[in-house]
Amino acid sequence: MAGSWSDTIRRLTGMGGRAGSGGGPRARVLAVAAQKGGVGKTTTAVNLAVAFARYEGLRTLLLDLDGQGHVGAALASQFTDGDTTTLSDVLLGHGRDVDELVHPTRIAGLWLVPSDKGLAATEGILAGRIGKEFLLRGAIRRARERFDVVVIDCPPNLGNLTLNALTASDACLVPCDMSVLAMGGVADLLGVVETLRDRLDHDVRIAGIVPTRVDRRNARVTAAVMEGLDTAWGDLVCRTRIPVSSALARAQMDGVNVFDYDATSPGAVAYRELASEVATRLALRVAPPAAVLHAAG
């Protein structure tokens, strides 16, 4: 596999020049995507977005494109949903722009576009639309001018909504838990990214493959999967490993991010490190917020 992927890896690790054009600041758009569920995709999207805002000083928009709505559940205590316009409305042409759906949160520097129950039906409706892969890219233009980074939590499949997220994005982050099935899902997703590049002329950089649910108690399986990831994809694999951490599950149940639940837990420490690593990979550095500077001093 390493040999067959070598040319692909060289292409996927460079930020494409066609992702954005025009005047004014433009947010980097990062899709968090996986071919299957249960690999820590939403947990990664939520805590990475919070860490971008809180520790990297980035104006961050978190967009929930997964019809299950787990992002809203994970941040239930930290935002108020009161708008009647939905993401489905925007994608189907009944609304004007994602920017109209942005909700402030109680976390400084973080805003949210929540999911809606109609997204599952929207997935099927999009199949018959001309240019269906580019609807989100058109609807996110204004939002890109307001933020430093937009994080999109994709559905756990490679359907029309995920394709929309990828064509709207500059980069993709791929969580992979410690299983052979998840590794196969990574290969499928990278294949889709290559197809977008070849057939739709859209460059999506792979920001990284993130090993998740790393359990040191199951050392043999973990070592085998990590060896497989490193052999197949080399530098695409992030240095940061997300460990099995009870704080991550409990934080989600309480509707808070892991940093507010227990900032010293292994999961919180890992996601803070991941935010720093991804910010470096995507050149997202800005001056950190005053609170972080104060703490550092």
CA atoms within 13 A on the CB side of 287: 5
- The CATH number for 57's domain is 3.40.50.300
Q: Which amino acid is at 19?
A: A
In a domain, 133, yes or no: yes
Tens-digit pLDDT profile for residues 24-37? 458 999 999 999 89
What's the pLDDT tens digit per position in 172-189? 999 999 999 999 999 999
Residue 21 DSSP symbol? -
Query: Considering the domain boundaries, does residue 95 fall inside one?
Result: yes
How many distinct structural domains can be found in the chain?
1
Task: Read off the pLDDT of each residue in 138-159 and give the average, rounded to a whole number.
Answer: 94
Q: Give percent of the chain with pLDDT exceeding 90.
A: 67
Question: What's the length of the chain?
Answer: 297
| β strands within the chain, DSSP E | 28-32, 60-64, 103-104, 110-113, 149-153, 171-177, 205-212
Instruction: Tell me the mean pLDDT in the region 69-81.
Output: 80
Give which of 103, 72, 111 is closest to 85, Cα–Cα: 103
In a domain, 265, yes or no: yes
293 domain-assigned: no
Domain that holds residue 126: 2-15+26-279
Of 39, 96, 37, 106, nearest to 67 by C-alpha is: 37
Position 20 in a domain: no
Cα–Cα distance, 73 to 112 (Å, whole number): 12
In order, the DSSP letters of 205-247 are: EEEEEEEESB-GGGHHHHHHHHHHHHHHHGGGB-S---B--HH
Q: What are the tens digits of pLDDT across the range 269-286?
A: 999 999 999 999 999 865
Does 83 have pLDDT greater than 80?
no
Q: Is 173 part of a structural domain of the chain?
A: yes
Asked which of 52-56, 78-82, 113-117 is least confident by mean pLDDT, the reply is 78-82
Q: Let me know if residue 186 belongs to a domain.
A: yes
Query: What pLDDT, on the 0 to 100 scale, is given for residue 12?
Result: 59
Q: Cα dist. 252→71, 77, 113, 198, 276 in Å?
A: 9, 10, 18, 38, 22
What is the maximal distance between C-alpha atoms in the chain?
56
Report the share of the chain in percent with pLDDT over 70: 86
Q: Is the pLDDT of residue 289 over 90?
A: no
Does residue 21 carry a pLDDT above 60? no
Does 116 fall in a domain?
yes
